[in-house]
Amino acid sequence: MSIVCVTGQMAAGKNYVSSLFEEQGFVSLDLDLVAHEAILLCTPEILAVFGDEAKKRGIVLLNADGTLNRRALGQIVFSDKNLLARQEAIVYPKIIELTEKFIGENSGKSIILNATVLYKTPELLKKCEKIYFVKANLLKRLVRAKKRDRMPARHILARFRNQKNLFDEYSLAAKEFNIPIEIIKN
């Protein structure tokens, strides 16, 4: 069994690279989807923490069906690093729990952790034998993100700005935990 991290900036091609590993017999966990589940499970706490900020900005955090509007939450948390850190403090413990459950359920298998910011959860990153950092140029990423997420370009670019030092963060973590890192250009 081995666990590897496939990472990179938004819309760099992490899912495509993960699918290539799956063709080789790996099982893959998309931590974006895990984060969505964690956010759903943490919705009451998120509403309590960010409700006033949303009102102040005229942002509605709940969809008509009562579920949390993740894009509306993203408008808040991706605009301020302190707000993002507050959201991460709520959601990351649940992400770690759900990921460790997946790893336990797939013991004996080779696993891909497909995650943009796995370095922020050292408990999980330390389990990885290798980091594959997927890179793509800015224009290609913008076109992919616009097509996939149907968000305004300014919101996508704000997320890109938040991830501008992502490779540096992974390089530091790789060095700290003695994990080899390889760049894959996509």
pLDDT of residue 29: 98
Judged by DSSP in three states, 112 sits in strand
Task: Calculate mean pLDDT across residues 55-84.
Answer: 91
Q: What is the pLDDT of residue 151?
A: 84
Distance CA 40, CA 29 (A): 17
Secondary structure class of 113 (helix, strand, coil): strand
List the alpha helices (DSSP H) in the chain: 14-23, 31-41, 43-57, 70-77, 81-105, 122-125, 138-149, 153-162, 166-177
* Sheet of strand 181-185, all strands in order from the earlier edge strand to the far edge: 27-30, 111-114, 3-8, 130-135, 181-185
Model confidence pLDDT, tens digit, residues 111-158: 999 999 999 999 999 999 999 999 999 999 999 999 998 888 888 887
pTM: 0.88
Q: How confident is the model at residue 79 (pLDDT cuts 50, 70, 90)?
A: confident
